[in-house]
Amino acid sequence: MNLHKPVYEAPDDQVAWLGTDPIPARAYYDPAWYERERKAIFMRTWIEIGHVCELPEPGTWIRRELEFAEASLLIVRGKDGEIRAFHNACTHRGTQLVEEESGRGTNFLCPYHMWNFADDGRLVAAPDFERFALTKAECALPRVAVDVCAGLIFVNLDPHPRQGLREFLGAYADELETLPVARATTFHEYTYEIEANWKITYDNFQENYHLRFVHGLTGGATVHPDNNFGYPTRYGFNGPHRTQTIWSNPEPSLKPMQVFNFGIAARKGVEQGVIGGPNDRTYFALFPNFFIIGTPIQHFSHVVYPLSATRSRGVFRVYWVGEDDSAATRYAREYTLCAIRDVHTEDVNIIRRAQKGLSSGALKHIHFMSMEGLCRHLYQQVVEQVEAWETEQQLEGAGR
């Protein structure tokens, strides 16, 4: 067998329109370019930050830190059932209202001077407020645009978002609603930080070219004569977003614990009516930094947040429909997250080494082949967004 030539051919024609030009290496380490990305993309694009199962009833809230914006956010389900988002900053002198990751309550009390805010952001009371030349209406918590699709919570830090969430997601909005995550009631989470640009981290999970080289210990389920290296069967594009359909191995090589785990998960999938759904092998890559795959066995998401030009934080989540109903179910679910962590452990050092090699400045360009078409598409979309933002800035400057 020729180990360098798969029996299965990836659908190269589906990415040919993206071209073959080399990619400037500086875009993956340069602080000045990162700052342009931060302002043009992350400060005015819908960013996924959680799930509605974290806000199961009125009076529940979560806190999210978005380092790229130096922002701390409060996402709250109010007494009326509506989900709202605010900056976690008292409007008196900016003190953060909460430090906990999540909680329950209909009011937020500033620990500094006891200003009291309702769950809709209104200032309810403040000691000696008559001594301020202000009205309470002027002191409401700063709002942040927030919306939900498929149970996933997205925020947009632009004070006046150019698009609503569903318009931004396009046709993928309805497709996401078919995934198990739309009905999830709980999840398991794994968070990591890595010394790598967000695109380097993200790109690692957009291509299967590396699977046979990096995941030799965990990739047994992808090896089959019909597709030796587990290459995707389809690529798709929708505006700034993209998908790939994961190849389904009819005869996977599984360890006994995997057989047990998959059996439990598959039974649950049948019970919940999610086995064989229209998108159960589709990997959605939502611009700029979010992945989700809807397989009934491993319906997981992965979001990569930029921390600096050469550092990022990732959050893996495996979502579940229904609570644990037995020790076997609990074990199978925990095992699934551990399996994802095992695979990711094999990726970590490679991603770091890629960043170190590029940060030296020795390379002027990097090169994507057809199997890395989704990586090329991301870069092109980033450039398009940055250039559009710069044009807007120039027009605004000319109009002053």
Same domain, 193 and 307: yes
In one-letter notation, the amino acid at residue 319 is: Y
* Tens digits of residue pLDDT in 241-282: 999 987 665 555 555 555 555 555 555 554 554 444 555 678
Residue 226 has pLDDT above 70, yes or no: no
Tell me which of 8-22, 65-79, 107-121 is least confident: 8-22
Contact at 8 Å (CB) between 279 and 179?
yes
Q: Mind spelling out the 3-state secondary structure of the chain? A: CCCCCCCCCCCHHHCHHHCCCCEEHHHHCCHHHHHHHHHHHHCCCCEEEEEHHHCCCCCEEEEEEEHHHCEEEEEEECCCCCEEEEECCCCCCCCCCCCCCEEECCEEECCCCCCEEECCCCEEECCCHHHCCCCHHHHCCCEEEEEEECCEEEEECCCCCCCCHHHHHCCHHHHHCCCHHHHCCEEEEEEEEECCCHHHHHHHCCCCCCHHHHCCCCCHHHCCCCCCCCCCCEEEEECCEEEEECCCCCCCCCCHHHHHHHHHHHHHHHHHCCCCCCCCCEEEEECCCEEEECCCCCCEEEEEEEEECCEEEEEEEEEECCCCCCHHHHHHHHHHHHHHHHHHHHHHHHHHHHHHHHHCCCCCEECCCHHHHHHHHHHHHHHHHHHHHHHHHHHHHHHC
Tell me which of 3-12, 121-130, 290-299, 347-356 is least confident: 3-12
Residue-level pLDDT at 1: 33
Residue-level pLDDT at 223: 58
Q: Is residue 305, in this structure, part of any structural domain at all?
A: yes
Question: Ramachandran region of residue 19, left (φ > 0), alpha (ψ -120 to 50) or beta?
Answer: left
**pLDDT averaged over the chain?**
87
Q: How confident is residue 4, by pLDDT bands cut at 50, 70 and 90? A: very low
C-alpha 56/C-alpha 135 separation (Å) is 33
Q: Is residue 98, in this structure, part of any structural domain at all?
A: yes
Same domain, 54 and 24: no
Contact at 8 Å (CB) between 106 and 118?
yes
Same domain, 110 and 204: no
Average pLDDT value for residue range 33-37: 98
Average pLDDT value for residue range 191-208: 94
Q: Is residue 236, in this structure, part of any structural domain at all?
A: yes
Residue-level pLDDT at 214: 75
Same domain, 13 and 148: no
Residue-level pLDDT at 340: 79
Q: Is residue 115, in this structure, part of any structural domain at all?
A: yes
Residue-level pLDDT at 86: 98
Q: How confident is residue 209, by pLDDT bands cut at 50, 70 and 90? A: confident
Q: Is residue 2, in this structure, part of any structural domain at all?
A: no
Range of the domain at 359: 8-43+164-400
Residue-level pLDDT at 389: 96
Average pLDDT value for residue range 274-291: 78
Q: Is residue 234, in this structure, part of any structural domain at all?
A: yes
Residue-level pLDDT at 261: 56
- From 368, 23, 72, select the one nearest 206 (Cα to Cα): 368
> Does the predicted TM-score (pTM) go above 0.85?
yes
Average pLDDT value for residue range 93-102: 97
Residue 231 burial class via C-beta count within 10 angstroms: exposed 0-12, middle 13-18, buried 19 and up: buried
Q: Which of 133, 160, 187 is the last residue in one of the domains?
A: 160
Average pLDDT value for residue range 378-399: 92
Residue-level pLDDT at 98: 97
Same domain, 366 and 239: yes
Residue 259 burial class via C-beta count within 10 angstroms: exposed 0-12, middle 13-18, buried 19 and up: exposed
Residue-level pLDDT at 5: 43
Residue 73: both structure tokens together: 């956010």
Same domain, 153 and 202: no
Q: How confident is residue 211, by pLDDT bands cut at 50, 70 and 90? A: confident
Q: Is residue 137, in this structure, part of any structural domain at all?
A: yes
Residue-level pLDDT at 262: 57
Whether residue 288 is preceded by a cis peptide bond, meaning omega within 30 degrees of 0, is yes
Tell me which of 102-111, 285-294, 338-347 is least confident: 338-347
Contact at 8 Å (CB) between 366 and 27?
no
Same domain, 114 and 129: yes
Same domain, 296 and 260: yes
Residue-level pLDDT at 273: 47
Q: How many domains, the chain? A: 2
Residue 363 has pLDDT above 50, yes or no: yes
Same domain, 237 and 142: no
Q: Is residue 77, in this structure, part of any structural domain at all?
A: yes
Looking at the chain, the whole-number percentage of residues with pLDDT higher than 70 is 84
Residue 395: both structure tokens together: 């027009």
Same domain, 293 and 313: yes
Same domain, 225 and 88: no
Average pLDDT value for residue range 91-106: 96
Q: Which of 129, 160, 191 is the last residue in one of the domains?
A: 160
Residue 135 has pLDDT above 90, yes or no: yes
Same domain, 63 and 27: no
- From 311, 308, 289, select the one nearest 356 (Cα to Cα): 311
- From 324, 254, 268, select the one nearest 298 (Cα to Cα): 268
Contacts of residue 210, defined as CB under 8 A and 6 or more positions apart, other chains included, come to 204, 350
Residue-level pLDDT at 12: 87
Residue 156 has pLDDT above 70, yes or no: yes
Of residues 7 and 228, the one with the higher pLDDT is 228
C-alpha 151/C-alpha 84 separation (Å) is 14
